[in-house]
Structure 1
Amino acid sequence: MKLEIRELWEELKFDLGGMKMPKLDGVKDRKLLLGGGNTKGDILFIGDDPDLFEDENMRVLPGTSGEFFIKLCDLADLSPEKYYITNISKCILKWRELSEEEKKVMKEYLDMQIALIKPKIIVALGPEVVTVLLNEESNISDMRGKVYNWEGNIKVIPTYDPGYVKRVRGLDGKKARPAVEFWNDLKMIKTEI
């Protein structure tokens, strides 16, 4: 059984590597990535930010939203052994930049990842991810802090995009509130596990 799952992961990577994406022709950083982390983790973080990770080993560039996010996970006692991080788009393009056909293919990759990982919790990092997973337009401020039941008894926890939180965390008053709420969401994930 373990060998089959490993083979399926390799097949998924190979498939993704051969994907044709005309928008990326001639782009220097053309890499297509499934994600990084523990493929057997209980938590699956799904974002829409090419800076969340650089490679399968979850390397991140200094000063990026990925570095910020992983540091917050560490502070919330969510160790890398507990999670896998991926994006709804498997390339440097954001979801909104993809064609409808590309979105369909990327959603299939995401569905396959979810099936292989079998997480207990999916954390939807931002409104685009919530829309893709829950099939509804979302006001993330209204949805965050709640747990939604999803297919296969998987819990979905919507929260803010780490890049957005990184930008607003130093602001005063109402604008900084998402940073506090994001931190509370990370702590809630810990208790849900």
Structure 2
Amino acid sequence: MVMNLGNKELWDELKFELGGMKLNKLEGVKDKKLLLGAGNRGADILFIGDDPDLYDDEELKVSLGTSGEFFMKLCDLADLSPEKYYITNLSKCVLKWRELTGNEREHMRDYLDMQIAIIKPKIIVSLGQEVTGILMGKEIKIPEVRGRIHSYFGGIKLIPTFDPSYVKRTRDASGRKAKPAIEFWNDLKMIKGEIEN
């Protein structure tokens, strides 16, 4: 799906605004770039994480051995090709959400809401407890909300699941039969099923 010109203009404006933002904790950090995300901006699936390793650039490039490489391999195995999704982080940079100031978080949440409005996904997949809590507007525990489809604004389906970096750590420590890895895989299959319906 190709974005129409109006959406491209909105996206370029959003990118420009983000590029002009200064984050306190990025001073002195080697990688200062701010990225809206990566993938197909017209996709039905929007993955939202809080992990700087999920993507290195807008073309879905990932570093070897990272949670991003692990995540993309699992998506490929679940037949969720990169054309089917867009992925973004809450903080849009190498920092995690909790490292941002309250004011910076407000700005980043505005950028995220604008991204959602422009992309118009059918499904938002929240990767991890922090992201899910922010989107649901309350404190949650992933095991209590994952495995089910929740409602988000505008009729969008919200599917919470584990943070890929957590899944990778538990799998590396316990093998591929680790419970979070099995449940994460089941969530990916559920997402694929929802897109096909």
**Into which bin does the TM-score normalised by the smaller protein fall?**
over 0.9
User: Which residue matches 2:123?
Assistant: 121
1:80-159 alignment, distance < 5 Å: 80-159=82-161
1:37-52 alignment, distance < 5 Å: 37-52=39-54
User: Which residue matches 1:8?
Assistant: 10
Per-residue deviation, 1:25: 1.3
Indicate if the aligned counterparts of 2:145 and 2:160 stay in contact, CA closer than 8 A. yes
Amino acid at match of 1:23: K
Root-mean-square deviation (CA), in Å? 1.3
Structure-2 separation of matches of 1:172 and 1:99: 36
Per-residue deviation, 1:170: 3.4
Given the alignment, which residue of 9, 22, 39 partners 1:20?
Answer: 22
| Residues 1:55 and 2:94 aligned together | no
Indicate if the aligned counterparts of 2:146 and 2:161 stay in contact, CA closer than 8 A. yes
Per-residue deviation, 1:5: 0.6
Runs of 4+ in 1 over 6 A off after TM superposition: none
| Identity within the alignment, % | 67
- Which SS does the other structure have where 1:51 is aligned? helix
Per-residue deviation, 1:192: 0.8
Per-residue deviation, 1:21: 1.0
Task: Figure out how many residues of one structure are paired with residues of the other and give that number.
Answer: 192
Structure-1 separation of matches of 2:173 and 2:58: 33
Indicate if the aligned counterparts of 2:25 and 2:99 stay in contact, CA closer than 8 A. no
The answer for unaligned runs of 5 or more in structure 2 is: none
Per-residue deviation, 1:172: 3.7
Structure-1 separation of matches of 2:28 and 2:174: 42
User: Which residue matches 2:188?
Assistant: 186
- Which SS does the other structure have where 1:45 is aligned? strand
Per-residue deviation, 1:128: 0.8
Per-residue deviation, 1:51: 0.2
User: Which residue matches 2:72?
Assistant: 70
Amino acid at match of 1:41: A
Residues 25, 171 of structure 1: alpha-carbon distance in 2 compared, 3 angstrom cutoff: closer
Residues 23, 172 of structure 1: alpha-carbon distance in 2 compared, 3 angstrom cutoff: closer
Q: Deviations over 1:70-90 (max 9, x none)?
A: 000000000111100001111
